[in-house]
Structure 1
Amino acid sequence: MSSEVERSETSERASGADAGDYGTLYVVGIGPGLPGGMTQRAKDVVRTADCVVASNLYQEFLRRDGTLPPEDADERPEQEVVRSTMGRQVELAREAFERVRDGEDVAHVSGGDPNVYGKSDLVYLMAEEDEAYDVPIEIVPGVTAALGGAANLGAPLSNDFCTVSLSEKWRGWAEIEEKLRAAAISGFVVVLYNCWRDYERAVGVLREERADDVPAAIVNDAGRGDAGRNVEGETHTVTTLGEVADHDEKVGGMGTSIFVGNHETEVWTNDHRDHLVTPRGGRDVEDF
């Protein structure tokens, strides 16, 4: 990262405008699915931003309850909605910096939470690349898929847990495998993201260090109802680590998370359905 002196000099050169005339670049986590799962802060930022950058899918979600107006509506004509795609992230970040310098508030939408495999790191990388130290940046948190999926399942994350992405775009498989093995040995409940890649391989590594009969679950499109990528809509399947791969048809792709319990995780059943529960450990009712 640049030195404080370099940053100061860059900020002075960046624009003749008074910093008080700047807008703010918000990286907004909208939760795992539909607008009902958003924080009020996220909803307010998206509704009032001068420019909203969001993929087609997220635009559709945000229009469901009026967080964004209908595509053909005259409501909020002063608000511009820009389509985000994977191939335009760098270009859109640079455009956002200029909009903020021109006094606009920009909401850059990220699914889940921006800090959990989301878009916050890109914004900071681009700010460093372009020496955009003058641009105000605020991260607006959201509910990540691990938490949204856990809510569907009951209480699987009530003790220590970790998330591991199976995407090899920035990390090689050797590093992913090392993390999986360490997590399994350490007793963490593990939540796998990006299960469209090598999930069976990942499950195989976990099975080498953890018993096949520990509870596990496959969650699709948590919080999205019938609006997600999975043709069956929002689903969760309770199984065991040893049998996860037997439910291959339930692993739907980008919207899928796989939860793998530890030796304390149990399947708890009431009159309605099965739940996964990982106790906090060493406590009973009297301890409360």
Structure 2
Amino acid sequence: MSKRAHDVLETVDTVVGYTTYVNLIRSLIKDKHIVSTTMKKEIERVEAAIDIALEGKSCAIVSSGDPGIYAMSSLVFEMCKAKDIVIIPPVSAGKMKNEDSGTLLQVEVVPGIPALCSGASLLGAPLSHDFAVISLSDLLTPWELIERRIEAAAEADFVIVLYNPKSKKRNWQLESAQKIILNHRDRNTPVGIVTSAMREEQKVKIFPLGNLHTAPVNMQTTVFIGSSASAQYLDFMVTPRGYSKKYSVVS
């Protein structure tokens, strides 16, 4: 957690979030008013946060990783737009004039460390060249569109980072993605599997692409599928930037 995120949690009146994420920071917010909901209640959470903020109280919506990557910040902006709420960034708060009217909210998106960054650091250097990030959750995106994105990324030889690879109800999407990518990659292409990065239950493994369907994954897992240039070195996964093709890396 960044210092800014820590400072925000210390100063706000209310913290709103998915119950699982709220529980992860419970020790930091034990004296706060907390609004937590279960999965698929995102709109209700944002609605509650907006209502609290419009009452003149400070409120933080917590997300896992970075709030702008598969998280809640976009929904905040969408709902404020739908409600005709004028959003101002913190740096503009002191510039408002007395004649400014309408419903105003000061909104700050506090950056975090996304799973693709924390997971990559544990694997070594899998994202040192071009990569694509795709979520396998078809709850909000049609699977046909997800398939097209996987196909395009695989054909273009991107390193592919997969979010939301498997849940109890969505247990076939990862193997389907594996089959698509195998049409463009060698079966021995390294695949990094990182679960619960930087948490007590953290697990890091490297599998060959051909065995990806046997890897233990869940909703806390991020999958890193190497490009044709990616390789495993000892217990690490590395995608070269290309320096060795232009310079001598051995003196």
TM-score, structure 2 length as denominator? 0.84
Q: How does 1:38-187 map to 2 (within 5 A)?
A: 38-63=1-26, 66-69=27-30, 76=31, 79-133=32-86, 134-187=104-157
1:5 is matched with none
1:237 is matched with 205
RMSD of Structure 2 on Structure 1 (CA): 1.9
* Structure 2 unmatched runs, 5+: 87-103
2:227 is matched with 262
**1:189, 1:260 within 8 Å by CA — same for their partners in 2?**
yes
1:279 is matched with 240
SS in 1 for 2:85: coil
**2:17, 2:45 within 8 Å by CA — same for their partners in 1?**
no
SS in 1 for 2:150: helix
**2:22, 2:62 within 8 Å by CA — same for their partners in 1?**
no
* Structure 1 unmatched runs, 5+: 1-37, 70-75, 227-233
Q: CA deviation at 1:87?
A: 4.3
Q: Distance in 2 between matches of 1:91 and 1:275?
A: 42
Aligned length: 227
Q: CA deviation at 1:286?
A: 5.2
Q: Distance in 1 between matches of 2:209 and 2:76?
A: 37
2:194 is matched with 219
SS in 1 for 2:194: strand
- Name segments (4+ residues, structure 1) moved above 4 Å: 284-287
Q: CA deviation at 1:103?
A: 2.0
Q: Distance in 1 between matches of 2:54 and 2:242?
A: 51
Q: Distance in 1 between matches of 2:137 and 2:206?
A: 24
TM-score, structure 1 length as denominator? 0.74
Query: What amino acid does structure 1 have at the position aligned with 2:240?
Result: P
Query: What amino acid does structure 2 have at the position aligned with 1:256?
Result: T
Q: CA deviation at 1:51?
A: 0.5
Quote the sequence identity (%). 35
Q: CA deviation at 1:57?
A: 2.0
Q: CA deviation at 1:88?
A: 3.4
Query: What amino acid does structure 2 have at the position aligned with 1:177?
Result: E
